[in-house]
Structure 1
């Protein structure tokens, strides 16, 4: 069983700076066992960053926990499956209610084989790399602290597709869930020349 849980993330602050919206949340889908571990760590105080004395040493429980747990970057060869990062947008478009889901999928076997990195780390790193490339080549211009939502999405999606990353957009809403349909909207048919990849 999986549960979507709210977490603190920069998008909750950054997106409303650029896009007029009523509400922004950030959620992770986590397995029940993982959630139980997190609750146990919190119950034992192991999530605290306040230093405590252990003999002659001052250390935070969270640092101890990080030191004894395996490094996620080194677990890729043990992981299987795909990760999906997405944005479910609800609002009005041309005066009518509309919901779309914009998503980016990474397969762990593919990212390990092609990049030597597990899928979650690869997916987290790829989007900033693409953004930096667009800034470096002048496709994106701006000053100050800006998130990617402040810039034109089409060059970003095009370049993301050149890196063979699977992304797309699907119509959501009443009558469409759990079988949303592709929108066919320009700018989203980029990964390997298709937005929706069979099996994803």
Structure 2
């Protein structure tokens, strides 16, 4: 059994706490920590068994180190902000504790998404004898595992990978984001990028789109090409296996895009500071304070998400087209953990990734992405812990 420290008490942190509490045979002791301990206590009151809570500033490495040394976890799950990844990794290095996160580091002053900063920790984590498991959410995370599963079970070569993410839910609000508004808007307004014939090609934001017909009654939805960090690691993983193209697609409603365009036009999505009444203000951070807290959308959101991988390649010399995906219902997620499906689909894989590390199912020293390990045990746990998957072999 293992002791787990969860850092971050937003919507995803709430799901992670619930899911860790559901498996006492794996996680004997749980501590939930955040800058605002009151948020942790509120989540703790929802759980089926007692957990510890703590206040900690995830930007403050000595504070993190002190908390880790006091609680003595076997693994730290980082579901704080991506800006804080390196601070938490530094604290894990100093204390010799395994690390798991759901999103790659990005600097606060520029919307730049890549693994370089975290991959640079490889030698230090290896020397310390501990593991860092990067991107154990859904996308990245489960989509990486889906790809590794397809390679292991169904393909000799993989030529094309399309990761397709649909949120077909409706919360009834004029404009709101389903996860941290600052991170969401930075991601969506950044240039797109995709892998093609050995190199990454950059596009303008939302420049490329098409319609995709989703399963489970979701139907046709317009999807837009974005840059998403798992493409970086998956291109590296699949390049020796014949990869020619890899893309990431996501749905957005016309209403969302209309509001976002207006906010961009008036400068509210800027991430550089501006002076207002003698004070520096970052417009996007101010906008975040005005928008609904994603955690408040749980009871309001109805509908489903569908996230999966559409893969083309060959098996035994014959062409093959394959689709593996998960359907998650917003209301069912809320009934179980009091969070909507966006948080649920990130929080469940974070718990499973920590389970893989804590039980020694996935072993290693250094910095790893999800596809670096055997996908089979993770795929089995998805079916057990609330994210069942479906696979189809398609014509054409």
Q: Which has the higher contact order (CA 8 A, sep 6+)?
A: 2
What's the offset of the Cα at 1:11?
Answer: 0.7
Q: Which residue of the partner structure matches residue 139 of structure 1? A: 361
Runs of 4+, deviation exceeding 3 Å: none
Tell me the TM-score normalized by structure 1: 0.81
Inter-partner Cα distance in structure 2 for 1:38 and 1:29? 14
CA RMSD of aligned residues (A): 1.6
Inter-partner Cα distance in structure 1 for 2:365 and 2:236? 14
Q: Which residue of the partner structure matches residue 11 of structure 1? A: 230
Inter-partner Cα distance in structure 2 for 1:78 and 1:142? 42
**What are the ranges of 5 or more consecutive residues in structure 2 without an aligned counterpart?**
1-219
Q: 1:44 to 1:172 in 2, by over 3 A?
A: farther
Q: Conserved in 1, the CA contact under 8 Å of 2:274 and 2:283?
A: yes
Asked if 1:159 is matched to 2:381, the reply is: yes
1:1-200 to 2 correspondences below 5 Å:
2-20=221-239, 21-174=243-396
What's the offset of the Cα at 1:63?
Answer: 0.8
Q: Which residue of the partner structure matches residue 184 of structure 1? A: none
What's the offset of the Cα at 1:143?
Answer: 3.1
**What are the ranges of 5 or more consecutive residues in structure 1 without an aligned counterpart?**
175-200
What's the offset of the Cα at 1:166?
Answer: 2.1
**What is the CA deviation profile of residues 88-132 of structure 1, one whole-angstrom value per residue up to 9, with x for unaligned ones?**
111222211111111122111111111111111110121122111
Tell me the TM-score normalized by structure 2: 0.42
What's the offset of the Cα at 1:39?
Answer: 1.7
Out of 137-146 and 76-85, give the one that drifted further. 137-146
Out of 32-41 and 164-173, give the one that drifted further. 164-173
What's the offset of the Cα at 1:173?
Answer: 3.8
Q: 1:41 to 1:144 in 2, by over 3 A?
A: farther
